[in-house]
Amino acid sequence: MSNILTHSPALVMALPLLAAFLTPVVGRFNRKVLGWFVSIVLGLTLFITLLMATQILTNGPMIYVFGGSEAGLTLPSGYSVPIRIIFHIDGMGIFMGLITAVVSFLAAIYSLSFMQKHSGLEKYYALLLLLATGMFGMEFTGDIFNFFVFLEIASIASVALIAFRSNLSGEPAEAGFKYMVVSSISALMVLFAVGLFYGQYDVLNMATIASVMQFTQLDKIALILLLTVLAMKAGSVPMHMWTPDAYSEAPAAITMVLVAASQASLYALFRISFSLYNISLNTITVGWIIIILGILSMFIGVTMAIIQKDIKRLMAYHAISQTGYMLLGVGVGLAVLANPVALESFGIKAMEGGIFHIMNHAMYKGLLFLTAGALFYRTGTRDLNKMGGLANNMFYTTVFFIIGAAAIAGIPPFNGFASKLIIYESVYQFNPLLSIIAMLVSILTLASFVKVFHSAFLGPQLEQYKKVQEVPKSMVFAMAALACIIVLFGLFPDVIVKNLVHPAVMSLINQTNYTATILGGI
């Protein structure tokens, strides 16, 4: 067991990669066992991630040197800078890793029955495993060029998955084209920024760059480029145009994984502004820029969502709006980073709220997209005007939709209330107006989900839906798992915040811990 634990960073990234390469071979022999094979591999990955989480949250960050003579030897004899690709997992990295592991495992289980009638399924499962590999690599790596490579792997896999259902109509291909152009531009600008860092400092390791950084003019250009394109990949206004198309045209399980992939880009944004630059940048200016992006995303996201008729487009605009909450919380934390008194009193709390909201959002938004997929599976349409009275036929889907809608609106016994309350309290001490706008957006969120519930579920049973039954068991299992996590996080939020979120926030704020783990206390 200790052997698996030392090698677990590489295993979590490499097991889905090995399974992705074996999937066409397995699919050639036996088509029916393919879904079970993928689910077992992703379940194993989830198990190893949980082991790694218990190790990191008790003993501190883990590092893994690829191809070195032992796993923890970052500086071999005679070298003063690290030379190999190093995976550096601290509290924040394993937080995002847990989200990715849970979401991709549940997506594989949901796809067992959702995608059953499709042809070309071995390509679908290979692409899903590649997307999981890319996301794990983005969240675990400590090397900035390696981050670019995994970002591109995740982008290409997700574009192919968005355009997967284009054999019947042309809209998924159009959505895939838009997403491909956006993600190509962001990845190439990340590569340009990597070139800027390498040209000045001759190292690619993020901790080493953080320890030798002088904030020159070229570093300012790199910061602006990275902030803009990573916010574009995360789906914040004013670069949000690809989000409704991409999220609505993808198959439902893939939309859930895409939400987690957008949040991995958000994680990279936080990692770069906190661990790479820390207080050498002008924290008040950059913090206010992130806060303004957050406020715009919240407001524009929810106002565009109220008028939608397509259920998945409506939920995609809500995803933009909830990303605004995360940017607001962490932006307040960044703005007071150089001010130790304010940081102690409300800065750390604001960041805890923002980062807790990342996990809550992945859970309840995933549940909502899965229920929308269940409605599409049984009725064949995504248009809210054509649906109606489905609560008579689909009992479990109705209950899970109520849980998801209550969580996103911030109603007490569910997890949305916990993280939103932390954000309201701490942002109020920074600037009261921001907190009032956040509460207003929450009310509008509740309004739009009441509209969806009324038009899809309530009312008398319609003629054409008389024979509609409940969805198959694997889809109900995936939705039930997410609902259980939502209820548990809502009932015991202080346990989660103390054990999972607080180490993540402290590992972002302390840059000296981040560099000392790799450079050995120099």
Partner 1 sequence: MKEEMSRIVRTITTLIYGFIIVFGFYVIVHGHLTPGGGFQGGAIVASAFALLVVTFGNQGIKGFLQKDIFSLIESTGLVLFIVFAFFGLGVTFFYNIMANSGGLFGNSAIIGVNPGDLNTGGTIPIMNIAVGLEVFAALGVIILTMSAGSEITRKKENS
Partner 2 sequence: MIGNFPYIAVAILIGLGIYTLIFKKNLIKIAIGITLIENGANLFLITLGYRKESVAPIYTQAPEGMNMVLPTPQALTLTSIVIGVATTALILSIAMIIYNKYGTLNTDEVRRLKE
Q: Which stretch binds partner 2 (CB under 8 A): 158-166, 280-288, 361-369, 395-403?
A: 158-166
User: Residue 160, interface with partner 1 (CB under 8 A)?
Assistant: no
Tell me how crowded residue 14 is: count the other CB atoms within 10 A of its CB.
Answer: 15
Q: Which is nearer to partner 1, 169 or 345 (CB)?
A: 169
User: Residue 86, interface with partner 2 (CB under 8 A)?
Assistant: no
Q: What is the identity of the amino acid at 65?
A: V
Is cis: bond before 493, omega within 30 of 0?
Answer: no
- Render 240-290 in DSSP notation, one character per residue: -THHHHHHHHS-HHHHHHHHHHHHHHHHHHHHIIIIIIGGGS-HHHHHHHH
177 binds, among partner 1, partner 2, none (CB under 5 to 8 A by kind): partner 2
User: Residue 170, interface with partner 1 (CB under 8 A)?
Assistant: no
Long-range contacts of 29-38 (CB under 8 A, 24+ apart): 31/121, 31/122, 34/121, 34/122, 34/125, 35/108, 35/111, 35/112, 35/121, 35/125, 36/112, 38/108, 38/125, 38/128, 38/129
User: Residue 191, interface with partner 2 (CB under 8 A)?
Assistant: yes
User: Residue 194, interface with partner 2 (CB under 8 A)?
Assistant: yes
Tokens of 477: 């299992």
Q: Which is nearer to partner 2, 159 or 334 (CB)?
A: 159
Q: Which stretch binds partner 2 (CB under 8 A): 3-11, 15-23, 111-119, 168-176?
A: 168-176
Q: Which stretch binds partner 2 (CB under 8 A): 175-183, 226-234, 407-415, 474-482?
A: 175-183
Residues 17-46 that bind partner 1 (CB under 8 A): 17-18, 21-22, 24-25
Place of tokens 């807790």: 356
Q: Are 422 and 356 in contact (CB under 8 A)?
A: yes
Among 44, 57, 71, 421, binds partner 1 (CB under 8 A): 71
H or E segment and range at residue 490: helix 473-491
Residues 185-214 that bind partner 1 (CB under 8 A): none
Q: Which residues pair with 141 in a beta bridge?
A: 87
Report the C-alpha gap between 253 and 374 in whole angstroms: 10
Torsion angles phi and psi, residue 69, rounded to 5: -85, -15
Q: Are 104 and 482 in contact (CB under 8 A)?
A: no
User: Residue 122, interface with partner 2 (CB under 8 A)?
Assistant: no
Measure Cα distances from 137 to 263, 270, 277, 283, 348 in Å. Answer: 14, 16, 22, 28, 27
Q: Which stretch binds partner 2 (CB under 8 A): 156-164, 269-277, 289-297, 444-452?
A: 156-164
Q: Cβ of residue 173: shortest distance to partner 2, in angstroms?
A: 4
H or E segment and range at residue 510: none
Number of residues that bind partner 2 (CB under 8 A): 35
Q: Which is nearer to partner 1, 14 or 488 (CB)?
A: 14
User: Residue 79, interface with partner 1 (CB under 8 A)?
Assistant: no
Alpha carbon dihedral 140, 144, 148, 153, in 10-degree steps, equals: -30
341 binds, among partner 2, partner 1, none (CB under 5 to 8 A by kind): none
User: Residue 180, interface with partner 1 (CB under 8 A)?
Assistant: no
Q: Which is nearer to partner 2, 169 or 512 (CB)?
A: 169
Report helix, strand or coil for 142.
coil
User: Residue 225, interface with partner 2 (CB under 8 A)?
Assistant: no
User: Residue 453, interface with partner 1 (CB under 8 A)?
Assistant: no
Q: Cβ of residue 136: shortest distance to partner 1, in angstroms?
A: 13
Q: Which stretch binds partner 2 (CB under 8 A): 7-15, 90-98, 242-250, 364-372?
A: 242-250
- Which DSSP symbol is given to 310? B
Q: Which is nearer to partner 2, 309 or 498 (CB)?
A: 309
Among 156, 320, 363, 391, binds partner 2 (CB under 8 A): 156
Q: Which stretch binds partner 1 (CB under 8 A): 16-24, 212-220, 299-307, 503-511?
A: 16-24
Q: Which stretch binds partner 1 (CB under 8 A): 13-21, 204-212, 324-332, 415-423?
A: 13-21
Q: Are 155 and 185 in contact (CB under 8 A)?
A: no
Among 13, 180, 210, 350, binds partner 2 (CB under 8 A): 180
Among 29, 32, 67, 467, binds partner 1 (CB under 8 A): 67
Tell me how crowded residue 325 is: count the other CB atoms within 10 A of its CB.
Answer: 28
- Render 438-476 in DSSP notation, one character per residue: HHHHHHHHHHHHHHHHHHHTSSSPPGGGTT--PPPHHHH
User: Residue 64, interface with partner 1 (CB under 8 A)?
Assistant: yes
User: Residue 181, interface with partner 2 (CB under 8 A)?
Assistant: yes
User: Residue 51, interface with partner 1 (CB under 8 A)?
Assistant: no
Contacts of 168 (CB under 8 A, 6+ apart): none
User: Residue 10, interface with partner 1 (CB under 8 A)?
Assistant: yes
User: Residue 70, interface with partner 1 (CB under 8 A)?
Assistant: yes
Secondary structure (H, E, C), 387-431: CCCHHHCCHHHHHHHHHHHHHHHCCCCCHHHHHHHHHHHHHHHHC
55 binds, among partner 1, partner 2, none (CB under 5 to 8 A by kind): none
Torsion angles phi and psi, residue 386, rounded to 5: -90, -20
User: Residue 163, interface with partner 2 (CB under 8 A)?
Assistant: yes
Residues forming the site for partner 1 (CB under 8 A) = 7, 10-11, 14, 17-18, 21-22, 24-25, 64-71
Residues forming the site for partner 2 (CB under 8 A) = 145, 149, 152, 156, 159-160, 163, 166, 169-171, 173-177, 180-181, 184-185, 187-188, 191-192, 194-195, 198-199, 204, 244-245, 248-249, 307-308
